[in-house]
A and B are shown apart, each in its own frame.
Chain A
Amino acid sequence: MPSEEELYQEHILDHYEDPFHRGHLTSATHAHEDKNPLCGDVVRIELELNDEGKIKNVYFDGQGCVISQASASMLIEEMYGKTIDDIKAFTAEEMLALYGPRLTPNRQKCCLLSWKVLQSAVHSPVASGDEN
């Protein structure tokens, strides 16, 4: 059973209170949103991919527990400037490692929500005029 100091480490609370690129991207080429129906966590990720499949920019938005939102911020920061291939190669285990503290299976779902959304987002082009 991880203790609270472990679970809510300072850098995690930092990401929660001061997230990386929370908001929307007017130039998004790809976007996806999903939720964890069990607890109502929601994460949306908007990506701007260039022709070479490189992430020019990426933003996330959402609502939910500290783990779901801080992990989204950490993931987006990690993937900024990387390529689609990097995203596809980034495994769930690596996501859990990036987050840090050991999580019980139920809380792993919170942590992996943004990872799942990002994996789907690269396959979800935004119809032009769809986003504003």
Chain B
Amino acid sequence: MTTTPAIAIDRTALLPVALRNDFPILSEEVGDHQPLAFLDNAASTQRPRQVIDALSGVYERTYANVHRGIHTLSELSTEQYETARRSVQRLINARHLHEVIFTSGTTASINTVARSWGDANLRPGDEVLLSVMEHHSNLVPWQQTAERTGAVLRHIPLTDDGRLDMEAFERLLTERTKLVAVAAVSNTLGTINPVAEIIAKAHAAGALVLIDAAQSVPHLAVDVQALDVDFLAFSGHKMLGPSGVGVLYGKEALLDAMPPFLGGGSMINEVKLSSFTPAALPAKFEAGTPPIVPAIGMSAAIDYLQSIGLDAIHRHESELTRYAYDALSQIEGLRILGPAPEHRAGLVSFAFERIHAHEFAQVLNDQFGVAVRAGHHCTQPLHAHLGIAASTRASFYLYNTPEEVDRLIEGVLAVQRMFAPQGRQRKRRQPDE
């Protein structure tokens, strides 16, 4: 039987399939000897040869600690590490190089703002405005900060189709609001949030804005000056780079006024036995040995993404997403989470009344080679709001193909058949049933 619904795909919107050859891991087999279709890119992405070579090149030729030696290798590493900072600066169009702080990832970036800016600026009764769709890493740090400072957390509710309720946002935005912290793109719903509008309105109300860009910077062109955003956080591993590195962008004046968060080497100017003076930006927020090689690898990933172009990548993902969305919409009993394709980035999450997400992820992997995420994707409050315990998520990137989407759909239909009620009966062991 044919299981692929007849949905049209606009191949002119897609990137050349040949770029898959840059990604060695994509020729692996998984499950029962199935070719891999990697549709778990919102969790983490794969790396092209160019990034892998950049990483091993550092270890083979130039590696040493940065900013502390005068020997050749330390100078080489330092130069590469600072060049990586420059490529991040260009990617997001930061005004100053020292507004780019390397962290261990989005989580660390948000925690830095919550601890440093939050502890120094929030008073009892001040409000931080989040949303119901936030990732745990943009909820828990603020819960911790609220506990320390007495600040109050508010949450922008969602519309029925999984977008931010912007009318409610405007009502919640008051003179008590000191910070608005929201994701640019939801990692579960795929919703692209209107960050420019949020920033403009928050600023008009006198609040700062932190954007969790973990799901946007890898897929959409982001310009921090055009947005006038105050803080921006993202991760290298979600954009073809290594894990262990991420970025906190902050406006110079804000970062300058903030106390350092982690204390230790590199972040100091002068240390005495009972006191220290902090270093200038960006070192002030880069205590200890930084993620040297991951940052250099991230820079190679940025080069790679820019060689293809973020607009072309976004077009490719949008077309795959629309294709998947249309095909999944035809499946009876399947509930797609989040808005229509025109409001979403490159992912689709769905739930079935009767069949748990685990079954989808397991069978898709084993029989179809399709890697998807099953669970709550670090958005428990959002799942509670949607009234479901878990969902299955397929998330796309530049190397995915419509054929992989077809395998996803075929797999979903197979799972539906496999776990349909069949009037099965357990063998009776107990007499008294």
Chain A residues with CB under 8 Å of B421's CB are 17
Evaluate contact between B425 and A18: CB separation under 8 angstroms: yes
B343-385 residues with Cβ-Cβ distance < 8 A to A are 356-359, 362-363, 366-367, 374-376, 380, 383
Chain B residues with CB under 8 Å of A64's CB are 356, 358, 389
Pick out which of these stretches binds chain B: A8-16, A46-54, A84-92, A116-124: A8-16
A14-B358 CB under 8 A given contacts A3-B32, A20-B430? no
A89 CB to nearest chain B CB (Å): 20
Evaluate contact between A40 and B389: CB separation under 8 angstroms: yes
A118 CB to nearest chain B CB (Å): 17
Cβ of B390 within 8 Å of any chain A Cβ, yes or no, is yes
Chain A residues with CB under 8 Å of B375's CB are 38-40
Evaluate contact between A39 and B425: CB separation under 8 angstroms: no
A15-B419 CB under 8 A given contacts A39-B389, A40-B389? no
B414-433 residues with Cβ-Cβ distance < 8 A to A are 418-419, 421-427, 429-430, 433
Evaluate contact between B366 and A14: CB separation under 8 angstroms: no
Cβ of B31 within 8 Å of any chain A Cβ, yes or no, is yes
From B359, B383, B424, B427, A17 is in contact (CB under 8 Å) with B424
How many chain B residues sit at the interface, stated as a range, is: 20 to 34
Chain B residues with CB under 8 Å of A112's CB are none
Evaluate contact between A77 and B389: CB separation under 8 angstroms: no
Chain A residues with CB under 8 Å of B429's CB are 77
Evaluate contact between A14 and B426: CB separation under 8 angstroms: yes
For A, the interface residue count at a CB cutoff of 8 angstroms equals 34
From B358, B424, B425, A65 is in contact (CB under 8 Å) with B358
Chain A residues with CB under 8 Å of B433's CB are 20-21
A48 CB to nearest chain B CB (Å): 13
Chain A: which residue is nearest B422 at the CB level? A17
Cβ of A37 within 8 Å of any chain B Cβ, yes or no, is yes
User: Quick one: CB contact mask for A85-123 with B, threshold 8 Å, 1 for yes?
Assistant: 000000000000000000000010010000000000000
A1-31 residues with Cβ-Cβ distance < 8 A to B are 1, 3-4, 7-8, 10-11, 13-21
Evaluate contact between B427 and A40: CB separation under 8 angstroms: no
From A8, A11, A66, A81, B356 is in contact (CB under 8 Å) with A66
| 6 pairs from A and B in contact (CB 8 Å cutoff) | A8-B418, A17-B422, A37-B380, A38-B376, A40-B376, A65-B359
